[in-house]
Chain A
Amino acid sequence: DTEVTQTPKHLVMGMTNKKSLKCEQHMGHRAMYWYKQKAKKPPELMFVYSYEKLSINESVPSRFSPECPNSSLLNLHLHALQPEDSALYLCASSQLGTSHNEQFFGPGTRLTVL
């Protein structure tokens, strides 16, 4: 199984809503990533979890709150978002402890903030 799954596929939320994005992998990878991708732009790294601990936070606003409850799951909790946060949110995973770092990406969640 070399698949990273993300749910939901699409999400529309208001600025006062609280929602969560979910990501799952069963490849035994111990690094998991959240990226944000605006239309016609490249993906930008938001967070990295290594061994279920947050290791990189690329100065992301606190209205985005990541969580890694176990080695297979990664969540992104959303609260009080702004319309400019509308984007494709991509999750990825990779092995740790090897020099080859192929990241496996999920299909993304397309988020629209009204």
Chain B
Amino acid sequence: DAKTTQPTSMDCAEGRAANLPCNHSTISGNEYVYWYRQIHSQGPQYIIHGLKNNETNEMASLIITEDRKSSTLILPHATLRDTAVYYCIVRPTVPSGAGSYQLTFGKGTKLSVIP
């Protein structure tokens, strides 16, 4: 089962920051938080991941609380192309299946960017 809880849906005005929350209260010490998104009719796409510290890349920023029980994905200037389902995933520490890490997708948040 997925170890994360996300709001079912969110709206964001185009050009504004989109802040997507995720609760992962049972996360253990060495588990990473990964974010993927899935644009309609496409495969999921990796966005960002983190362990303890905040992370930023060209797509987004990830803010992880000090107790690591929740995180927020920030899209700084949302565009219409950011409309997608966003999945927050807690990735196991121990690899399964000869070195691969299993991803268990939860229900995700449907983000709609509105013109």
Contacts and interface: CB of A to CB of B under 8 A. Distances in A.
Contacts of A105: 43-45
Contacts of A51: 98
A7 interface: no
B108 A55 contact: no
Contacts of B87: 42
Contact of B44 (A45, A50, A90, A97): A90
Contacts, number: 69
A45 B43 contact: no
Contact of B106 (A42, A45, A48): A42
A31 B45 CA distance: 17
A94 B95 CA distance: 13
B68 interface: no
Contacts of A94: 100-101
Interface residues of A, number: 28
A103 B103 contact: yes
**What is the interface residue range for chain B against chain A?**
20 to 34
Contact of B105 (A43, A53, A97): A43
B102 interface: yes
A12 interface: no
Interface string B40-61: 0111111001000000000000
A28 to B, nearest CB: 14
A45 B98 contact: no
A56 B97 CA distance: 6
Interface of B: 2, 38, 41-46, 49, 87, 91, 95-108
Given A56-B102, A94-B101, A101-B100, 4 more contacts: A31-B97, A42-B107, A101-B101, A108-B43
